[in-house]
Amino acid sequence: MRRRIRLAAWTFALLAAPAWPQAPDAAWVAESVHGYRFAFAVESVLDSSLSGDPRHAAVMDHRIVVSIRGADSQRPLQAYAVSLDIAEQGYKGATLPMQAVKSAEAGIYEARVRMQRGLPHRILVHATPVAGGRTLEAQFQYRHHH
């Protein structure tokens, strides 16, 4: 039940995100790529299985959520495989698949990753048509601030 409430809140935030100003500390960041709007957010996940107080851990789990919609139509991107290429700034990244979020709204993808706190990360979001074709790519920068 708690996951459904959180997912509903994320979905609402995604739908409202186009109207939000993009401040440097905004929860959502958006990029326009070839007629599509990629909205990106990161949530720290405090995992109780970590030894000690997880708020002080050097490496933490993060939940990355991406929404991909038509820039003008706001229609969700469909029939695409979405993945992340994530790396600490200056290093080669690892590619991770994102899972489509099962909800009333399509075009929302999520992944859980472990990232070093305090270091900048370069995150590439790749969206490739399942039937083949041109891959869309949006780049984001992220640094855990707490």
Q: pLDDT tens for residues 96-143?
A: 999 998 775 678 999 988 887 778 889 999 999 999 999 999 999 887
**H helix intervals, 42-107:** none
Place of tokens 């600490």: 88
The CATH fold assigned to 2-142 is Immunoglobulin-like (2.60.40)
pTM of this structure: 0.70
Domain boundaries, the chain: 2-142
> Is the pLDDT at 93 greater than 90, yes or no?
no
- What single-letter amino acid sits at 69? R
pLDDT tens per residue, range 38-88: 999 988 776 544 555 555 556 667 889 999 999 998 889 888 999 999 888
Residue from 82, 79, 91, 80 nearest 115 by CA: 91
**Are the C-beta atoms of residues 117 and 57 closer than 8 Å to each other?**
yes
pLDDT of residue 88: 82
What pLDDT does 38 receive? 95
